[in-house]
Structure 1
C-alpha cells in the first residue's frame, strides 16, 4: 500500500518533518475544486506573494472594521494562540481556493458553526451587536482578502493582469463568496467597482487603541514562526522585518495613519526593489514553496501540496458551489445562517 502523505489532515511525520512534503507521495485531491488549472485564481493566489505578504496584508487590514476587531478581541486567541489561529485561517482559505469541493463545502459549514458559538457579542464603543457570520462582515473579509492578494501580486509579482484575466478574477471572487454568507451579487466585478466598495465602506472603518495593538501584533510575523525558526536569531529577524516592511509598503497612507503605523518612503522603495526578485525566485520551485509553507502553516501544506507539486486530481472536474453543496449534502451558507439564528433565539 502506498505510503501517502494525506491531504485530508496533518500526519505525524509531515507535521514534525515538513521536508517530507518534498519527496513523499501526496494523495491527489478528489477533484479540481471550484477553479482548477487554468483559472486566474490559481495563478494569482498560487504565486508566492499570495499566502505570505498578501495574506498578512488582508488579516491586518480587516482589523479596521470595529465589529470584526471586537469579535477577534473577545476570544483573545489572536494573542494567546497566534500561531494556531494563523495556521487554521490560512488552511481554510487554501481549502476554498485549492481544495476539492467536498472538503471546501464541509469546511465552510464547520467555520460557520464555530463563528456562531464564539463570534457573537456586543461592540463596546457603539453598543451594537456583532456577528462573525453577518453577511456584510463576511463581504468585508472576503473582498479585503481578494483585493490584497491581487494588489500584492501586481506590486511584488509579475504585474497587472490582462483585462480579460482581471474580469475572470473578480468573477471567480464572486464564486468563492458563495461559500460564505455574503451575497455574491454584491461582489464587484471590476477594479472600479472594488474602488467604489472601499470608498463607500471607509467612513465605517476606525482604529481604536485595541485595533492599533492588534494590527501591530499581526504585522509581527514571528507570531506564526514554529519554535525552531524562532530560535534562528538573525534569520528570523530578517524574515520578519522583510514581511512586515513589505506588507506596510502596500497599505495606503490613510490606513497607516488610522493604525498609527510609520514607515519611510525609502523603506517602501527599497522593499519593493527587493521583494520582486525574491518572490520571482521562489516561484521557480513549487517544492521550495511547499517546504516553507509546511514550516509556517502545517495545516495548509497538505491542502496546497497537490497544487504546488502539480499532482492531478482524481476527477478532472470543477463544480459550482451550488452543485457542490447539493452533491455533498451540506447546507448552503445562507440556509445555515438562518438556521443558526433560529437556534440562538
Structure 2
C-alpha cells in the first residue's frame, strides 16, 4: 500500500508539467473557452439531442459545471490511475444510456457513438486552444500542433482510438470541413441556448450579486468567439470587426481573471498536481 502511494505521488499523469496541455488547460482563459466549446458542440443536432435527452442540466446546472471542471482537472492534472478511472466511469455512464432519435431529422443516435464523441472532443480541444491564443496566451512555433496531439490521450479515455482523432491544427480544420454539412442549429439547440443565457439562479444571487449579467456576458462572449461558419448557423449577421472586438474583450477578461488569487480561479487538481511534482523533485536530482 505504501509503495502504491509513493508511485502515485511520483506520477506526472497523462501530460506532465512540461506539456502544452498543462499550460493551456490551467489558464484563466478556460472560463471563456468552456462557454465557447458548449455553444459549438450544440450545432451538431445528434449531440444536442443526446444532451437534451440524457441530462438534467437546467435542474442541476452548477453541479454539471462542477463535474465538467472535475473531469478536465482530473484528466489534465491527475495521476494516470485517476485519469484512467475517470475514463472508465464516463464510458460506463455513456454505455448505460438508451439510444434515442433526433426529433427533427428522425435520425437515431447513441451517446457513445464514436462520431459524436469525436465531435465533442475536437470542439473542446479547438475551443481551448483558439481561446487561449485569442486571450493573449503565448505559444511557440509548433506548440499548437503539440497540444492537439497531446490531447489525443484524453480522447482515448472516452473510448476513441488515437488514430481516428485529429493530431494537428490542420487536421482539425480538415475535420471541420468534413463535418460541416451535418451541422445545424436545431430547435432543441436554440431553446437550450436561450435557457443557457438566462439559467435558473437563487433569488438572492439574481438580486444581490452581478452573477446574472456576468453570466450573460460570458455566454455572449463565447458566441462572439465562435468560428464565423458556426455563428452563421446560429443566424448571426456578419459584422465588420466583430472578431477583433471579441478578441479584445476576451483578452481583457483574462487580464481581470489573472488578477484574482489562484486559489479562487484555478482548478483544485492543479494545486494537487503541483504538490505531487514538488514531492517528485528529490527523485529527479
TM-score range, shorter chain: 0.7 to 0.9
Give the one of 107, 119, 130 matched to 1:128: 107
RMSD value over aligned CA atoms?
2.8
Residue aligning to 1:291: 264
The alpha carbon displacement at 1:195 in A equals: 0.6
Structure 1 residues 146, 249: CA separation in 2 closer, same or farther (over 3 Å shift)?
Answer: same
Across the two proteins, how many residue pairs are aligned to each other? 274
Report the CA distance between 1:173 and its aligned residue.
1.6
1:48 positional shift: 0.5
Is 1:179 paired with 2:157?
yes
Corresponding residue for residue 243 of structure 1:
218
Displacement of 1:43: 0.8
Equivalent residue, structure 1, for 2:21: 41
Decide which of 122, 139, 156 is 2:118's aligned counterpart. 139
Following superposition of structure 1 onto structure 2, how do residues 276-315 of structure 1 map, counting pairs within 5 Å?
Answer: 276-283=251-258, 288-292=261-265, 301-307=267-273, 310-313=274-277
Whether contact under 8 Å (1:33, 1:97) holds in the other structure is: yes
Secondary structure of 2:276's aligned partner: coil
Superposition pairs of residues 92-107 of structure 1, within 5 angstroms: 92-107=71-86
Cα distance 1:192–1:240, how it changes in 2: closer, same or farther (>3 A)?
same
Q: For 1:72, which of 35, 51, 67 is the aligned residue? A: 51
Which residue of 132, 139, 154 corresponds with 1:153? 132
Deviation at 1:244, TM superposition (A): 2.0
TM-superposed CA distance for 1:134, in Å, is 1.3
| Residue 162 to residue 210, structure 1, CA distance change in 2 (3 Å) | same
Cα deviations by residue, 1:241-271 (Å, 9 ceiling, x for unpaired): 4312321221123322322456965775445
Structure 1 Cα separation of the partners of residues 163 and 280 of structure 2: 28
Give the 4+ runs in structure 1 shifted more than 4 A.
225-231, 261-271, 314-317
Aligned partners of 2:197 and 2:263: how far apart in 1?
22
Q: Tell me: CA distance 1:96–1:236, structure 2 relative to 1, closer, same or farther (3 Å).
A: same
- The equivalent residue for 1:111 is 90
Q: Following the alignment from structure 1 to structure 2, what is the Cα–Cα distance between the partners of residues 136 and 192?
A: 19
Change (3 A) 1:228 1:110: farther
Distance of 1:263 and 1:256 partners within structure 2: 8
Report how far residue 140 of structure 1 moved.
0.8
Shift of 1:47: 0.8
Decide which of 232, 245, 253 is 2:208's aligned counterpart.
232
Q: 1:164 aligns with which of 128, 142, 145?
A: 142
Where 1:291 maps in the other structure, the secondary structure is helix
Distance 1:274 1:127, change over 3 A: closer
Extract unaligned runs of 5+ from structure 2. 1-7
Partners of 1:258 and 1:103 lie apart in 2 by 38
Q: Is the 8 A contact 1:121 1:130 kept in 2?
A: yes
Deviations 1:94-135 (A, max 9, x none): 211111112211111111111222353222233332111111
Query: Structure 1's 227 and 89: CA in aligned 2 closer, same or farther, altered over 3 A?
Result: farther
Task: Give 1:289 deviation, angstroms.
Answer: 3.7
Length-normalised TM-score, structure 2: 0.84
Does residue 257 of structure 1 match 2:235?
A: no
Task: Using the TM superposition, name which of 118-127 and 140-149 deviates more.
Answer: 118-127
Give the secondary structure class of the aligned counterpart of 2:100: strand
